[in-house]
Amino acid sequence: MTSALVVSNVSKLFGDVAAVDDVSFELGADELLALVGPSGCGKSTLLRMVAGLHRPDTGSIRLAGVTVDDDQICLPPERRRVGLVFQEHALFPHLSVAKNIAFGVGKGTAADARVAEMLAVVGLDDFGDRYPHELSGGERQRVALARALAPEPALMLLDEPFASLDPNLRARVRSDVVSILRSSGTPAVFVTHDQAEALAIGDRIAVMRSGRVVQLDRPVEIFHSPVDRFVAAFMGEADFLPAVTTRADFGPNTLNGVGDDAVVVLRPDDVTFSTDPAGASRVVDAEFRGSTWCYTLRLPSGAEVHATRSHLVHVPIGTPVTAAITDGHHPTILAG
């Protein structure tokens, strides 16, 4: 089956700065890929090159088997069959919802039917006559999605599409958008700087840093088997302990066969503890997070790690405890 998108050795310079540096990846025909990384890492620039809004300095881009950009060809955005959704919605304020959606499909009976279909797909059947200022942020984002999907694009590109929404609405609209893309079989690339969002959206995740893709893999592998400290820290809370320290604090059986020059990545759910008057560790901080507490433990070596517990488990600061690796958890090991 032809890949929806093939990016080969693509680079983009702005002056002396390499915004995108020799990036290559493929996107499956019905795959959702999350591009994640800190601000300025190149993810939006990469998305805009795929859309045709920026021209790569080197490399090539193929969409649905067709070369749209290389050293000889550069198809304009309107000939690439891509749908674009941005954070700002970019709806025409003087046009109704129906006319916004119809913008890319023209006029006539077939176009009217397509608009009605798209309104139903995004759950806005009765909103066709409304104007953007009469809609909530989530509704406007659904209209933007419907408008992008109406011409039946070969690929959807979404750049921080939920960033302007409040957290509760953001999660709901995100779930709706992903469901719509999956039900329509439309492949998509999401750009986000939100790690939790990337883990929730992507069939695969590409973690970017300084213009390069540092790791490209399934969410579970990105989270539990990061290739380096940057990926481990960026994709979730993490404490890093030298193996020799970890052995001293948690016992050698937790790290059999691991050299002393290794670094152990411990996430808060990897660490558990029990109150113990004779415990060699101590609770030095506690942060209430609603459904959980996140405790900071100072270990016998002096190192500090974090541990999550149920909101029902409230342990006062200063309490002596015995810390352990959570049963069944296997901490990530990185080269020292």
Cα 241 from Cα 239, distance rounded (Å): 7
Tokens of 100: 């916004």
Phi/psi at 84 (nearest 5 deg)? -120, 130
Q: Please report, for residues 20, 110, 114, 250, 327, the alpha-carbon distance to residue 7 in angstroms, rounded to integers and kept in the order given.
A: 12, 34, 31, 45, 42
pLDDT tens digit at each of 336 positions of the chain? 689 999 999 999 999 999 999 999 999 999 999 999 999 999 999 999 999 999 999 999 999 999 999 999 999 998 999 998 887 768 899 999 999 999 878 788 888 899 999 899 888 999 999 999 999 888 888 898 889 888 889 999 999 888 877 887 788 888 888 988 998 899 999 999 899 999 999 999 999 999 999 999 999 999 999 999 999 999 999 999 999 999 999 988 777 778 888 999 999 999 999 999 999 999 999 999 999 999 999 999 999 999 999 999 999 999 999 999 999 998 999 987
pLDDT at 67: 96
**Could you give the count of Cα atoms lying within 13 Å of 25 in the half-sphere of its Cβ?**
25
**Could you give the count of Cα atoms lying within 13 Å of 275 in the half-sphere of its Cβ?**
8
Phi/psi at 70 (nearest 5 deg)? -155, -160
pLDDT at 2: 82
In the DSSP assignment, the letter for residue 280 is S
Place of tokens 């009217």: 112
Q: Which residues contact 253 (CB under 8 A, 6 or more apart)?
A: none
pLDDT at 1: 67
pTM of the predicted model as reported, rounded to 2 decimal places = 0.89
Angle between helices 137-149 and 167-184 (to 10 degrees): 20
Helical segments of the chain, H only = 43-51, 97-102, 109-121, 137-149, 167-184, 195-201, 219-224, 229-234, 243-250
pLDDT at 73: 92
